[in-house]
Amino acid sequence: VKVLNDQIMPCDLLFLRSANERGHCFVETSSLDGETDLKPKVSVATCHNYFVDENKIDSISGRLAYEGPNKNLESFQGFLEIPAVHKDGPIPLQGENLLLRGTVLKNTEYV
């Protein structure tokens, strides 16, 4: 899924890549928590560097394990295993790697 600036996240997304060379983006969460401040998010670093060529994403194969839904919007834990990207085992995931459905991408060309 590719989301462009000012578009709404259509579903919960694991943040793998952005137009920002450092792998950051900003989201507005007012539809979820009423806050209008932009919140920074960070892509999974290993994936951001690997997927410079967006066509590589189409052939990705791996496993994602994560905790069940909870009421804390900032809490998220999981692991991502993609042998072609990271051969040293599972990559830990945190809340900063998750883009929640209903948030709006801001000040970033795409994720």
Among candidates 90, 88, 94, which has minimal Cα distance to 63?
90
| Average pLDDT, 10 consecutive residues per value, the chain (111 residues) | 96 93 94 92 87 77 89 87 86 94 96 95
Could you please report the per-residue DSSP string of 45-111? HHHHHHTTSGGGGGG---EEEEPPP-S-TT---EEEE-TTT-TTSPEEE-GGGEE-TT-EEES-SB-
For residue 41, report the phi and psi dihedrals to the nearest 5 degrees.
-130, 155
pLDDT at 87: 83
- Residue 20 in tokens: 């920002």
